[in-house]
């Protein structure tokens, strides 16, 4: 398997692709994703929602009940889920922001693919 350096600039560890972070910095993907959302002044409403205890509790519950990526499972692959994705974006339907049925556990790769195809 090809290897690359950990995405944390001061780290010297190598990780197997497609991973980006070593075991020590594994949680950094969530932190950087949330930072982009949180500090964009146009998205204050959404940033407040994603920082709320209601969302954090719901996200943890979803990942605990479905720790594997649902999109990968549909394609007969087994991958750990790191993101809880709204099937219907909350910008399009604010009322579904805490609707458990509209959430899915997915990995970073599938999340990126989903948003890339949505923007086209």
DSSP states along the chain: --EEE-SSTT---EEETT--S-GGGTTHHHHHHHHHHHT-GGGHHHHHHHHSHHHHHHHHHHHHH--B-HHHHHTT---B--EEEESS-TTT-GGGTT-GGGEEEE-HHHHHHHHHHHH-
Q: Residue 117: its pLDDT value, please? A: 64
Q: Residue 118: its pLDDT value, please? A: 57
pLDDT (tens, 9 = 90+) of the chain, 120 residues, equals 688 888 887 888 898 887 788 888 776 665 555 555 555 555 778 888 888 999 999 999 999 999 999 999 999 999 999 999 999 888 888 899 999 999 999 999 999 888 776 554
Token pair 């889920």 is found at: 81
> Residue 87 is encoded by which pair of tokens?
């099937």
What is the C-alpha end-to-end distance of the chain, expressed in Å? 32
Q: Residue 85: its pLDDT value, please? A: 94
CA 61 to chain centre: 14
d(CA 110, CA 71): 7
Quote the pTM value: 0.63
Q: Residue 120: its pLDDT value, please? A: 46
Q: Residue 74: its pLDDT value, please? A: 94
């Amino acid at each position: 398997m090809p290897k690359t350096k950990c995405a944390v600039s001061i780290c010297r560890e190598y990780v197997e692709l497609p991973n980006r972070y070593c075991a020590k910095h594994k949680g950094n993907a969530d932190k950087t994703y949330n930072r982009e959302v949180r500090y964009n002044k146009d998205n204050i409403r959404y940033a407040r929602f994603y920082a709320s205890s209601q969302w954090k509790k719901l996200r943890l519950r979803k990942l605990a009940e479905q720790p594997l990526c649902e999109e990968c499972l549909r394609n007969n692959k087994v991958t750990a889920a790191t993101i809880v994705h709204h099937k219907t974006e909350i910008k399009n339907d604010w009322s579904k922001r805490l609707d458990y049925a509209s959430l899915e556990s997915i990995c970073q790769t599938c999340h990126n693919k989903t948003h890339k195809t949505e923007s086209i």
